[in-house]
Amino acid sequence: MEITNRINFRHVRGDLFGGVTAAVIALPMALAFGVASGAGATAGLWGAVLVGFFAALFGGTPTLISEPTGPMTVVMTAVIANLTASNPENGMAMAFTVVMMAGVFQIIFGSLKLGRYVTMMPYTVISGFMSGIGIILIILQIAPFLGQASPTGGVVGTLGSLPDLISNIQPAETALAALSIGIIWFMPSKFKRFVPPQLVALIVGTILSLVLFSDIEIRRIGEIVAGFPALQRPTFSADQLQLMFVDAAVLGMLGCIDALLTSVVADSLTRTEHNSNKELIGQGLGNLVSGLFGGIPGAGATMGTVVNIQTGGRTALSGLIRAGILLVVILGVANLAATIPLAVLAGIALKVGIDIIDWDFLKRAHQISRKAALIMYGVIILTVMVDLITAVGVGVFVANILTIDKMSALQSESVKTISDSDDAIRLNAEEKRWMDEANGRVLLFQLSGPMIFGVAKAINREHNAIQDCDAIIFDLSSVPHMGVTASLALENAMQEALDEGRQVHVVGATGQTHRRLNKLKVFNQLPSNHLYVDRTEALRTVVSQMSSGGGMTMPQTSPRVMV
């Protein structure tokens, strides 16, 4: 696999426009997410530069724009709050260490080629935790939206402080926040083509705060130091080491999901196919370097990626140009951001939270499936009130259990037994003749489709229902896969039949099914001429020999037996 993204200059014009436009959109978002996370505007800006640069250079999706995102910011906010509360002196340094560790986790995921498995989870779970993250982001912006500092305790603390927040509302700041949301929400589409509404909200809100509220104390970003950031030394605490690893794993996994889902969006727009494992390595390197220099974590950003592609971006050069423009802004005109009101950034972030919520699926989930809706709502509640890893873990577990139950029920219908030529199993004319001639002395036990562990119950049920017969033919011709549990259930059914003095014959055990039963030594219990390739041949041989040999004579030879 190539180490870096292929950079070519066939689309320089498109990449230039795409990079510039993505940079303009990224600036207000980076400031908003940096402040919202608790790390500060500077951390948001450097996160946008470093994650964007290294993910573009080493990633596997040429048009992907990577930067701080709403979901990553929500988790980072909790990481900073928890670590600074437990260790005020080193908490922030430990939080940046968690970002580095998250990057390492992503590099490991990519190196182990786990990219294609990352997003293999039910949409109900993805929708639930994304909507939950959107709700968290909205709740966390309530305090700055009302012109006050965020209370401790995250979501629960904010909800508990609502009466005090409302009673102490700062009308001027709330008006600026509401204006920001209004501009983003209602700005005509024809103007959005030329300038992103987030940047308009940032500029207009800042100017109005200086003109209309010059005599009122407004909470602002404050000074942003121009120049390159200092290197952050990895800092660990023995008491918080386990928590740091868990937080890093959650942050890394969320970043993987966030990035790869956006990569799928980019593929659909460009009609290309991304390299998921390479993308995870690029994302990991970006977050590792971002943490090393005091930046907040990032992932693939849907808004930036779509705008980049729509304005002509086609190669990783657009992402590199975007990072370079943001770097120039930080080093050259960062001091201009000092007067930006925090309420304006809160309005921008709150609108992002609203957009993250999966409104379309929320409206339709209960119509599609009540169980799916319950899973989604459960994941939302757990995400908001408990934590993301619990929400995803419980959601995936419940969804998989329900899926396995449904698949097992459907697959169980393919486990059938007949002792005459009825319609339960489709037989050809010759097979019907031999079943009729057997007169109930031969039982055909048919299994079809993949035999997962949930089918074991059906195998046992059909076996227990067997009445009088002299021979059982187990037809496995249509079984491409035999799970361990189903194999053991089949072995038990064969053994009990042998113990009761019945003949046991097996048809069509090939490939993985044959290998699995052979490893269990199931075939060791049967004469070699009791293994057949063709069901018609098996019926003819068994019925003929039973008729001529008195019913229980063990056949000595059989044509077309399996080897």
Concatenate the DSSP letters of all residues of 460-500 into one string.
HHHHHT--S-SEEEEEEEE-S-B-HHHHHHHHHHHHHHHHT
CB 202, CB 344: distance < 8 Å? yes
What is the spatial distance between Cα 215 and Cα 209, in angstroms, rounded to a whole number? 10
What is the spatial distance between Cα 420 and Cα 434, in angstroms, rounded to a whole number? 9
What is the average pLDDT across 531-547?
88
Report pLDDT for 120.
77
How crowded is residue 524: how many other Cβ atoms within 10 Å of its Cβ?
7
pLDDT bracket for residue 561 (50, 70, 90): very low
What is the spatial distance between Cα 141 and Cα 144, in angstroms, rounded to a whole number? 6
CB 435, CB 420: distance < 8 Å? yes
Q: Is the pLDDT of residue 19 over 50?
A: yes
What is the spatial distance between Cα 72 and Cα 39, in angstroms, rounded to a whole number? 13
DSSP label at residue 145: H
> Beta partners for 67?
299
Tell me the domain boundaries of the chain: 12-359, 413-549
> Beta partners for 507?
475, 532
Q: Is the pLDDT of residue 530 over 50?
A: yes
Report pLDDT for 545.
83
> Beta partners for 422?
none
Model confidence over 430-484: pLDDT tens digits? Answer: 888 888 888 888 888 888 888 888 788 888 888 776 777 889 999 999 899 989 9
The mean pLDDT of the chain is: 87
Report pLDDT for 284.
97
Model confidence over 204-240: pLDDT tens digits? Answer: 999 999 998 888 889 988 888 778 888 999 988 888 8
CATH number for region 413-549: 3.30.750.24
User: Which ranges of 335-443 would DSSP assign to H, the alpha helix?
Assistant: 342-356, 359-368, 370-385, 388-412, 429-438
> Beta partners for 442?
471
CB 37, CB 76: distance < 8 Å? yes
How crowded is residue 324: how many other Cβ atoms within 10 Å of its Cβ?
15
Pick the residue with more confidence: 131 or 415? 131
* Residue found under tokens 């494992």: 277
What is the average pLDDT across 486-514?
91
Model confidence over 82-96: pLDDT tens digits? Answer: 999 988 989 999 999
* pLDDT above 90 as % of the chain: 48
Work out the end-to-end distance of the chain between its first and last CA atoms, rounded to an integer number of angstroms.
Answer: 42
Burial environment of residue 476 by CB neighbours within 10 A (0 to 12, 13 to 18, 19 or more):
buried
Burial environment of residue 239 by CB neighbours within 10 A (0 to 12, 13 to 18, 19 or more):
exposed
> Beta partners for 300?
66
Report pLDDT for 554.
39
